[in-house]
Chains A and B, each alone.
Chain A
Amino acid sequence: MDAAELLPLYEQMALIRRTERAAHDLFMSGLVKGTTHLAAGHEAIAVGASAALRPDDYVFATYRGHHHALARGATPEECLAELMSRATGLCRAKGGSMHLTKASVGMLGSYAIVGAHLPMAVGAAWSARLRGTEQIAVAFFGDGATNIGAFHEALNLAAVWKLPVLFVCENNLYMEYTPIAEVTAVARPAADRASAYGIPGEVVDGNDVVLVREAVAGLADRARAGEGPGVLEALTYRHFGHSRADPATYRPAEEVERWLKHDPLDLARARLEALGADTTDVDARVEKTVAAAVEAARNAPAPDPGEALTDVWADGGAAWRT
């Protein structure tokens, strides 16, 4: 990958990192209600995968989905406005941090029931096939999701129907607070299980955006060619705790240090420098964009309370009786 190709990927990752930092600060200052599950550290997976996908492909994410929404084209302003309960939010403040969705760019949602969206991605891939498009669907999920029934039902159905769907596991070694290794019978919870369904299972360094892009592109080509689903297990680490202000003290210090040294942004920056490119301008631009987004979101109005009673049904309303 040359510098011209890598630079925009670096910029997207930097934008995600900076937006996550803003989300964290806003949460700490009481401007974000509920909870957030930050994806700082996971940037290369979302950005690398997005770079390998077509604009009309479908993406399904989890409650840890800020990075996927942003990588797919949601703006920091609409994401932060959603987190801050503003009328201008991505989901008009009805979704919040855990449900960022931008259907117009194929980002079909963030789902907070662990593993629930894997069958949905299978269905979107099935639909693409029925409609004769060459779209594929991608489900991003955590290592913890690999022990839930929907994971196994989804893989099997995708395999027997030979559907163009990719299952991308963001293995950050932990579920909430429990290491995945303590509760899983195999070492690679996603990739090792793929063969049970006759699906190729690959493992990739999820902090290297170039490798992620290559791996996703390879599986996507196969899927588009009608050869069926793929499983990719991307190894990564979350910089923050699981959610909110979890200090993640359950993680050994040397493990944290090792992974923080293997930061996806540092890796990409080092590559760019080796290629003779400078990232100073990019960093400055990202800083400005996110600062402006925070400002705009702060100044945006709260939703009209009447909005609570819209959007249940396709007619826009919520009436359950005649």
Chain B
Amino acid sequence: MLPFLKIMVRNLLQGPSTDPFPFAPAKTPARFRGAAVHDSEKCILCGICRHVCAAGAIQLRAAEDGSGMQFMLWHNSCVYCGMCAHYCPTGALTMSDNWHLSHLGEDKYTFSEDSFVPFGECAQCGARIQPRPNVIVEKLGGRAPDQFLLCPKCKRESLVKHASDTNLSQFREKQ
């Protein structure tokens, strides 16, 4: 006998196995890679997201007054690979489970993750540095929090000073 008949009758009795989507919510797993979400509170403007983005969907634009950077992620260009979220050192970028991404053609330049990240200030000389939000200082700068908040110039000077102080104290100990 036809071996498929049994399966066919069973499938007919079971009814449709597709999601009744527009009439009921579709099941979305927690790990689903939907639209990327940017948290400007955690961003340190390191640019790794832009570096790994294969689609070129991420742009970092300097503000005209020099007060910070505009972070832009075009959902329209994004391929939802999640590389930016994977390599983001601070967890500022995450992939949400939002897959409702249809939009009008006229909205394609505004359909983006758009946030302003202000620059930080050097704790010593007040020079403009990459942002150093508190959440990140605890996470990344825990080993040397003082140096983490310095501009490259002050950091260099503090390192030299630290090294010479250490040398001096060692020299004194020998004497």
Is the A/B pair a real complex? no
A residues bordering B, Cβ < 8 Å?
none
